[in-house]
Structure 1
Amino acid sequence: MTTTITDAPTTDTTTVRPAWVTDELLGSWFDVIARDPEGTESIEAFAPYDESLTATVPASTSADVKAAVAAARRAQRTWDSVPWSSRADVVLRFHDLLVERQSEVLDLIQWEMGKARFSAWQEILQVATIARHYARHGRRYLAPNRVRGAVPGLTKVQEVRVPKGVIGMISPWNYPLYLAVGDVIPALLAGNGVVSKADSQTALTLLWTRRLFAEAGLPTDLWQIVVGPGRVLGDALIDEVDHICFTGSTKTGRSVGTRAGQRLIAASLELGGKNPLIVRADADVAKAAAGTIAAAFGNTGQMCIHVERVIVHEDVFDEFRDALVAGTEALGLGQSFDYSVDVGSLATRAQFDAVVAHVQDAVAKGATVLTGGTARPDLGPFVYEPTVLEGVDESMEVCLEETFGPVVSLYKVSSDDEAIAKANEGTYGLSASIWSKDTAKAFRLAGKVRAGSVNINDGAAAAAGSIEAGMGGMGDSGLGRRHGAEGIRKYTESQTRATQRLVPLGPPPSLGVEKFVNLTNKQLMVLKRLRFR
């Protein structure tokens, strides 16, 4: 595979820190963090490029979390009365600023997380689309719903949506803009305050974004940022907010859901995945191989919906395998602050070690490496070649455990039924893909796959990019949905408002209870015959 390591003209090649990120600018971002000015706690993160320190970031405490929620709650009471059009204007101004100044946040995402620049740009695309969609259509999703009352003509009833109050956000490092901000936008538009816990690896991206929202006109206290380890701040945040939105591992998600349940607050959880891709006998092999490469190795495989298991019909297995290997070996691998690289670095030492361990375990137990399977320290400390495995079985960790890296395993099947059974192995159910020239047949097969999203003739992006449709998982892949109607309604409570006219419900004093019951019973039978309600 081709390799490259270059630096953009705006990058200081001795530290990899973007030259425009000055100490003064970092200080202004740190001012956004909700923390005691006298606090002494801090965190450190290291750039995947060379393991150099990105920044020493002031950290929040549990007490700071409590104060941040209280401040957001006070601001929310005013924000709730702001007209929808004014809230939407703030979000649309943010949209424009994000697009205009995207080069800054692209640098930050790459510096903190190591992904290829095109993968970083896809975060811009998603967040801008989310901002525009909810600003234009969110009011429709939250519109009051008028329903029939207990006594038509006498009872007027509406279901209305009211904000929950303060929403807690815990987001991961792999998409520091999209996953951190894409959920915040609908929460704010729905009238809530927000407290976000920035991931320690990618805190600067979120702080930059908060500053940009301030430029767009968002009230200062409405969206609070706390920084620090989840083990320190996570429980404190769940204990104070009115809804918790978490994206991360299934193990941690279970803990988040348990604690939220103890408080009787809702939790939306997008968790792990071991996503399958099915290649039917009638598939266009070249397109299926290209789609697999994009879905398996985009974002260096560090995305919850990326493909890790490829299930191929025996009639096209050899042809597909050869196309997949050839396409994988043609990828440009390395680190660069421009668009010359296809696959970037893994984000952290821990993630790099996890990927290496999965491949080594598979090889030790009999799997074959068709391509890749090698670390590339010449390109960066966490760079690992895109890897295709064959001969994987359930004795191997890579088979059903989430790898979260540039590794994909091939499986041969002889029928659609066998492919579906293979796809449904394990406990996850986030995303899936089916490749076939018979799209009607593929659509029907999708109903048999246990996954929150099924892409037909696309690896993963088609469903995730369809902002009007919900995105989330089944089984161990989580609860709830982002995007679409549920993506904003989940941040509200449904409130029923009923207005009774003329007389109250119940037996009038002049009729008596028994006569009222007998009369009502007759009315019930009449209404049934008339097919009313």
Structure 2
Amino acid sequence: MMNSIPNVPPPINEPVLSYAPGTPERALLKETYARMHGEEIEIPLIIGGREVRTGNTEVQVSPHEHGHVLARYHKAGAAEVRQAIDAANKAWKDWSNWPWEDRLAVFQRAADLLATRYRPVLNAATMLGQSKTAHQAEIDSACELIDFLRFNTHFAQKLYSEQPFSGPGMWNRLDHRPLEGFVYAVTPFNFTAIAGNLPTAPAMLGNVALWKPAATAVYSGWYIMQILMEAGLPPGVINFLPGDPGPMTETILGDRSLAGIHFTGSTSVFQMIWRQVGERIDQYRTYPRLVGETGGKDFIVAHASADPAALATAIVRGGYEYQGQKCSAASRVYVPQSLWPQVRELTLGMMETIRVGDVSDYRNFMGAVIDRKAYDKITGYIKHAHAADDVEVIAGGTYDDSVGYFIQPTLVQVQDSAYQLMCEEVFGPVVSLYPYPDAEWEQTLQIVDQTSPYALTGAVFSNDRAALLQADRALRNAAGNFYVNDKPTGAVVGQQPFGGARGSGTNDKAGSILNLVRWISPRTIKETFAPARSYEYPFLAEK
């Protein structure tokens, strides 16, 4: 035992590599992508540090080449879930008592492994399995996940340093204990970084986790698990459990030792989980912590003073990067009629140059949407827009699934601000735009606030400070991440803590200390140095 109070290395956001022609990172990523493309791997469960093969398997394919199988993965059933719960509870007894600096060192090492040797591997896995371009993979599976690992260890030390005042003759302390039980981490397909963060953030604080990756992101999840194990994560701390969500969740929610849920996914699923936990609340050892980031119908609203070029760029980047499959993606846009002709020309000019296709071709700005279900849903919205009155598809509107699930970036102009594409989450490369009368700026702000049940991200464009103040007040509760003269995507760990309220989740701000607070159960310790030796107080004296 060392007599020291160590400091976690100060976090710095991981630099984004360019992958420009001639750079070494481009050559290495292309080589790694080609090698991994030529392999079909088998992915087992990881329970208690052991590989488990159930024989009940599914395949993961490349969305931009859906005939190409990347991996065959084994699926957990109820028996494997119960094994994982037992393994997690067993690991908790030791892991929860590790010195905090030793726990955090595991994740610091994982960050360095990812920043170096595993960087091209996880980026290639994200490109192959989730159809991200090299740039989108770099800012996600490399930089953001590295940042989560490094910044969260820093936030953990800061949290442990939070201690109460002590009066004369006593020493008051806070023991920031992990939760008593296991955390169920349910992760999405669209961000590899989120898949890595949801199980690791609680684990840093001494918790244990059952991790269910999305079926369409098991491939990249497998490599995250390899990084964690190589970094020294003890067996059972995080158990990797691909499988069907319904039966798995039913088994997990029925276990007495469920202590928390860390979730990113659809609003309807999170509400169903919340409801089921509530129905069983008397069965649990403790009240489970429910932390969720769910849907969004993210907006851009422009004032007449807005910069047309900046606004058009925000629409294109915010709406179409990663095929619009970001929970923060710009999905509904409000532009004053006086500005619309210029913004339309600039936006359409940019969209005409966008290439869509295989992400191994670095000239492509967009890849494919994630799977058949997403493709059918998104194209259904486009078909409705083509057929609807008072709606004009002014760009894109075409699609092709013969090789991959490709949808052209689509811009729809509407005359009714309540048209379904202005209200419903699409989660694809479809942006709806409503040109509003310039004189109705304040009324439009009210429409933006009231149109959607979500409140995740939003952006306002204006060079008029008074208008910005109006928008800030009117939209204060309409977005958990609010952007001024910038697209509503691209939150950076440690800089823009991410999360929304209303129908978008519990707003526990991933990428900040606020999220980590949810994964501790503080114990107050009061030590008195000179205890009282009589029950009597001075006021009891007669005179």
| TM-score tier (shorter) | 0.7 to 0.9
1:389-404 aligned at under 5 Å gives the runs 389-391=412-414, 393=416, 396-404=419-427
Contact 1:273-1:477 at 8 Å conserved across structures: yes
User: Which of 226, 238, 241 is matched with 1:226 structurally?
Assistant: 241
Q: Does 1:32 align with 2:46?
A: yes
> Matches of 1:9 and 1:470 in 2, distance apart?
34
Worse overlay, 83-92 or 270-279: 83-92
Paired residue total: 495
2:80 aligned partner, one-letter code: D
Provide, for residues 390-410 of structure 1, a one-character-per-residue CA deviation record: whole Å limited to 9, x for no partner: 015366432211000001011
Go from structure 1 to structure 2 and tell me whether the alpha carbon gap of 1:31 and 1:251 turns closer, same or farther (over 3 Å shift): closer
Residues 102-117 of structure 1 mapped to structure 2, 5 A cutoff: 102-117=119-134
Query: How many Å separate the matches in 1 of 2:30 and 2:528?
Result: 68
Aligned partners of 2:44 and 2:51 also within 8 Å: no
Name the residue aligned to 1:93. 109
Asked if 1:454 is matched to 2:482, the reply is yes
Taking the aligned partners of 1:293 and 1:443, their CA distance within structure 2 comes to 25
Cα separation, partners in 2 of 1:420 and 1:279, compared to 1, 3 Å = same
Q: Find the aligned partners of 1:501 and 1:212 in 2 and give their Cα distance.
A: 47
In 2: Cα distance, 1:444 partner to 1:252 partner:
35
Residues 246 and 268 in structure 1, CA contact (< 8 A), matched pair in contact too: yes
TM-score (norm 1): 0.86
Q: What amino acid sits opposite 2:460 in the alignment?
A: I
Match of 2:4 in 1: none
Cα deviation code 1:304-358 (max 9, x no counterpart): 1111001112231221122112112221211122532111100101101111111
Looking at structure 2, the residues matched to 38 and 282 of structure 1 have their Cα atoms a distance apart, in angstroms, of: 60
Do the aligned partners of residues 133 and 145 (structure 1) sit closer, same or farther apart at CA in structure 2, a change above 3 Å counting?
Answer: same
Alignment of 1:36-55 (within 5 A): 37=52, 39-52=54-67, 53-55=69-71
Tell me the equivalent position of 1:430: 456
Partner residue of 2:397?
373
Aligned match of 1:420: 445
Q: Compute the displacement of 1:54 (Å).
A: 3.0
Matches within 5 A, 1:261-280: 261=278, 262-263=280-281, 264-280=287-303
Is contact 2:178-2:520 (8 Å) kept? Answer: yes
Amino acid at match of 1:452: G
Verify the 8 A CA contact 1:372 1:387 in the aligned structure 2.
Answer: yes
TM-fit CA distance, 1:18: 1.2
- Counterpart residue number, 1:496: 524
Amino acid at match of 1:489: V
Distance 1:118 1:384, change over 3 A: same
1:187 is the counterpart of 2:211: no
Flag the 1:159–1:33 CA change in 2: closer, same or farther, 3 A.
closer
1:123-522 residue pairs with structure 2 within 5 A? 123=140, 124-147=142-165, 152-153=167-168, 156-164=171-179, 165-175=181-191, 177-240=192-255, 241-261=258-278, 262-263=280-281, 264-366=287-389, 367-377=391-401, 380-391=403-414, 393=416, 396-413=419-436, 414=438, 415-424=440-449, 425-438=451-464, 441-442=467-468, 445-449=471-475, 450-461=478-489, 464-481=491-508, 482-500=510-528, 502=530, 508=536
Q: Is the Cα–Cα contact under 8 Å of residues 295 and 460 in structure 1 kept in the other structure?
A: yes
Identity of paired residues, percent? 20
The answer to whether the 8 A contact 1:299-1:344 is kept is yes
Deviation of the 1:255 alpha carbon = 0.8
CA distance in 2, matches of 1:172, 1:427: 21
Tell me: CA distance 1:247–1:439, structure 2 relative to 1, closer, same or farther (3 Å): farther
Q: After TM superposition, give the deviation of residue 39 of structure 1 in Å.
A: 3.1
- Cα deviation, residue 208, structure 1: 1.1
- RMSD (CA atoms): 2.7
Task: Kindly provide the CA deviation profile for residues 403-424 of structure 1, in whole angstroms up to 9, marking residues without a partner as x.
Answer: 0000101112224312311221
Structure 1 residues 361, 30: closer, same or farther in 2, change over 3 A?
A: same
Contact map agreement 1:107 1:337 (CA 8 A) in 2: no
For 1:210 and 1:466, the matched residues in 2 are separated by: 21
Q: What is the CA–CA distance in structure 2 between the aligned matches of 1:72 and 1:506, rounded to whole Å?
A: 47
Per-residue Cα deviation, 1:4-40 (whole angstroms, up to 9, x for no partner): xxx956666xxx9612x3x5xx34x426367995733
Out of 280-289 and 403-412, give the one that drifted further.
Answer: 280-289
State the alpha-carbon separation in 2 of the partners of residues 114 and 51 from structure 1. Answer: 11
**Structure 2 CA distance, aligned partners of 1:65 and 1:401?**
35
Where does structure 2 lack aligned partners over 5 or more consecutive residues? 1-28, 282-286
Q: What is the SS of the residue equivalent to 1:51? A: strand
Determine helix, strand or coil for the equivalent of 1:345.
coil
Change (3 A) 1:68 1:117: same
Judge conservation of contact 1:365–1:395 (CA < 8 Å) in 2. Answer: no
- Displacement of 1:443 after TM fit? 5.4
Provide the rounded CA distance (Å) in 2 between the counterparts of 1:223 and 1:80: 13
Shift of 1:502: 4.5
Cα distance change on mapping 1:37 and 1:315 into 2, 3 Å: closer
AA aligned to 2:410 is T
- 1:341-391 deviation per Cα after TM superposition (whole angstroms, max 9, x unaligned): 11110010110111111121123222101100000346x331000000001
Secondary structure of the corresponding residue to residue 461 of structure 1? coil
- State the SS of the aligned residue for 1:478: coil
Post-superposition CA distance 1:154-206 (Å, at most 9, x none):
6654444211142210011122x111112233222211112100211111211
Cα distance in structure 2, aligned partners of 1:237 and 1:254? 16
Pairing 1:8-87 to 2, within 5 Å after superposition: 18-19=37-38, 21=39, 26-27=41-42, 29-30=43-44, 32=46, 37=52, 39-52=54-67, 53-87=69-103
Amino acid paired to 1:326: G
Q: How big is each residue's C-alpha offset from its partner over 1:114-169, in whole Å with a ceiling of 9 and x where there is no partner?
A: 22222122212111111121223421033232146xxx536654444211142210
Using the alignment, how far apart are the partners of 1:109 and 1:382 within structure 2?
A: 16
Contact 1:8 1:337 in 2 (8 A): yes
Range with bigger deviation, 286-295 or 407-416: 407-416
Amino acid at match of 1:429: A
- Work out whether residues 170 and 197 of structure 1, in 8 Å CA contact, stay in contact via their aligned partners in 2: yes
State the AA in 2 paired with 1:186: A
Give, in angstroms, the shift of residue 42 of structure 1.
1.9
Residue 531 of structure 1 aligns with which residue?
none
Amino acid at match of 1:18: H
Q: Aligned partners of 2:205, 2:262: CA distance in 1, in Å?
A: 15
After TM superposition, the structure 1 stretch with the greater mean CA deviation from structure 2, 382-391 or 257-266, is 257-266
Over 3 Å counting, the alpha-carbon distance change for 1:448 and 1:494 in structure 2 is farther
1:30 maps to amino acid:
P
Q: 1:483 to 1:326 in 2, by over 3 A?
A: same
SS in structure 1 opposite 2:350?
helix
Question: For residues 529 and 129 of structure 2, what CA distance do their matches in structure 1 show?
Answer: 61
CA distance in 1, matches of 2:537, 2:73: 71
TM-score (norm 2): 0.84
State the shift of 1:65 in Å: 1.4
